[in-house]
Structure 1
Amino acid sequence: MTTVTIWNEFVHEKENDTVADIYPEGIHGAIATALDENGFKTQTATLQEPEHGLTEDVLADTDVLTWWGHAAHNEVKDEVVERVQQHVLEGMGLVVLHSAHASKVFRKLMGTSCNLKWREAAETERLWVTNPTHPIANGIGEFIEVPDAEMYGEHFDIPEPDSLIFTSWFEGGEVFRSGCCYHRGEGRIFYFRPGHETYPVYHQEEIQQVLANACEWVSPNPDAPEIVRGNHEPIEEIDMTDDRSVH
């Protein structure tokens, strides 16, 4: 069974009654419940815990890490960011959600600012499926409609995605690359835009389906061939009579 660790800074739920009413168990609790119902083994971690709940032991037991952050990106310790990055490079999957585009973890793995334009006006968002054959789009129709959303607009300062699964259109006219797949080292990353804290986005069935599909897609592949690096003996016999290597 795939083990998913759901990380949430867990700040808005404690400071904003609207957010607390929508997510009484925290955003991490809502996501954990949805993934539990889709057959994943889940555990949660938050900013306030020692080492933000992401100790070496926790990450070693994590197949997929989901990350939601917004108000406290700078409070995440650099050593924890580096630890997460290393686990991704070694094969742990990462699902980056909504405003975590500006998290230290995502920016470190992308190597860009990950900046964008935004507007909070409770406008309709339509996420068009632009890659319907991708596993993350399984069970989704032509589009997902989110009745109330925070707008994110281009230009989104990210590397060109390996695959683009969703492109959003907003009621105000903007468009946005909302479902982006990447490979870093041996790990897979999926960025998924919806999820503003004052709207019940993570209670929406189609959004939950995407999260489950994404966790499945970024999960490590147990059948992947072993990767061999470093100095290596030849697999064929080499004529050494013209060897000029320095010893």
Structure 2
Amino acid sequence: MVKVTVWNENRHEQKNPVVKEVYPTGIHNAIAGFLSTAGFETRTATLDQPQHGLTDDVLQDTDVLIWWGHLAHNEVSDEIVEKVRQRVLNGMGLIVLHSGHFSKIFKALMGTSCDLKWREAGERERIWVVNPSHPITKGLPEYIELEQEEMYGEHFDIPAPDELVFTSWFQGGEVFRSGCTYSRGNGKVFYFRPGHETYPTYHQELIQKVIINAVQWAAPVERLRPVYGNVQPLEVLASK
């Protein structure tokens, strides 16, 4: 069984009554709930827990880590970020959601600013499937329509994705690369755009389906990380 840890800074839920109404037990528990129903072994972790809930034991027991952050990216310990990065390089999957594009861990893995345009105007978003053969699109229609979402627009300062899975169109005219996959070391990374905290995006069945598919895709491959550095020859070398 795939073991999933859902990380959320859990600050909006404490400060904003609109967010509290949409996600009364927190975004992390909303996501963990539908993943548990889908058959995954889930736990949650939040910013204000000791070590942000990401202790060595938790990270070692996590196959796929889901990350949602917004207000408090800078409060995440650099030490914890490096531990998460090493776990990804060693094979742990990472799914970064919405404003997690500006998280320390996503920037560390991308090596760019990860900046973008944005506008909060409650406009329509259509998330188009542009890679219909990809496993993350399993069971989806041609597009997912959200009646209200925050706009993210290009240019999105990320490396060219290994695979572009989704592209979004917004009512105001912008487009955005909203579903991007990467390989980092032995691990897989998926960035998925929708999920503004004041809208019920993670209650939407097709959005849940994308995240469920992404967890299955990002689960570790059972193999050892390659050996690096100086090594002995596999064959006998001819003497000089």
Give the structure 2 partner of residue 233 of structure 1. 232
- 1:237 is displaced (CA, Å) by 3.1
Give the structure 2 partner of residue 34 of structure 1. 34
- 1:226 is displaced (CA, Å) by 5.8
Query: Counterpart of 2:115 in structure 1: which amino acid?
Result: N
1:213 aligns with 2:217: no
- 1:238 is displaced (CA, Å) by 2.3
Give the structure 2 partner of residue 122 of structure 1. 122
Query: Counterpart of 2:40 in structure 1: which amino acid?
Result: F
**TM-score under structure 2 length normalisation:** 0.98
Partner deviation per Cα, 1:4-42 (whole Å, 9 max, x = no partner) = 000000000111111001101100000000101111000
SS at match of 1:20: helix
Q: In the aligned structure 1, how far is the partner of 2:219 from the partner of 2:129?
A: 22
* Structure-to-structure mapping, 1:104-115, within 5 angstroms: 104-115=104-115
Gapped runs of 5+ residues in structure 2?
none
Aligned length: 240
The alpha-carbon distance between structure 1 residues 70 and 226, as it changes in their structure 2 partners (threshold 3 A), is closer
Query: Counterpart of 2:235 in structure 1: which amino acid?
Result: E
Query: Counterpart of 1:40 in structure 2: which amino acid?
Result: F
Partner deviation per Cα, 1:52-95 (whole Å, 9 max, x = no partner) = 00011110000000000001111111111111111111111000
Give the structure 2 partner of residue 68 of structure 1. 68
Larger Rg: 1
- 1:229 is displaced (CA, Å) by 3.0
Gapped runs of 5+ residues in structure 1?
242-247
Give the structure 1 partner of residue 85 of structure 2. 85
Query: Counterpart of 2:25 in structure 1: which amino acid?
Result: E
Give the structure 2 partner of residue 50 of structure 1. 50
Query: Counterpart of 1:173 in structure 2: which amino acid?
Result: G
Q: In the aligned structure 1, how far is the partner of 2:105 from the partner of 2:56?
A: 16
- 1:106 is displaced (CA, Å) by 0.4
Give the structure 1 partner of residue 144 of structure 2. 144
Query: Counterpart of 2:72 in structure 1: which amino acid?
Result: A
Q: In the aligned structure 1, how far is the partner of 2:14 from the partner of 2:177?
A: 30
Q: Considering only aligned residues, what root-mean-square deviation do their CA atoms show, in Å?
A: 1.0
Q: In the aligned structure 2, how far is the partner of 1:183 from the partner of 1:11?
A: 30
Give the structure 2 partner of residue 160 of structure 1. 160
- 1:189 is displaced (CA, Å) by 0.2
**TM-score under structure 1 length normalisation:** 0.95
The alpha-carbon distance between structure 1 residues 86 and 72, as it changes in their structure 2 partners (threshold 3 A), is same
The alpha-carbon distance between structure 1 residues 36 and 146, as it changes in their structure 2 partners (threshold 3 A), is same
- 1:230 is displaced (CA, Å) by 3.4
1:199 aligns with 2:205: no
- 1:225 is displaced (CA, Å) by 6.2
The alpha-carbon distance between structure 1 residues 89 and 59, as it changes in their structure 2 partners (threshold 3 A), is same
SS at match of 2:66: strand
Q: In the aligned structure 2, how far is the partner of 1:116 from the partner of 1:228?
A: 37
SS at match of 1:179: strand
Q: In the aligned structure 2, how far is the partner of 1:117 from the partner of 1:167?
A: 15
Q: In the aligned structure 1, how far is the partner of 2:225 from the partner of 2:55?
A: 26
- 1:216 is displaced (CA, Å) by 0.8
Answer whether contact 2:140 2:206 (CA < 8 A) is retained: yes
Partner deviation per Cα, 1:145-181 (whole Å, 9 max, x = no partner) = 1111000000000000000000000000000000000
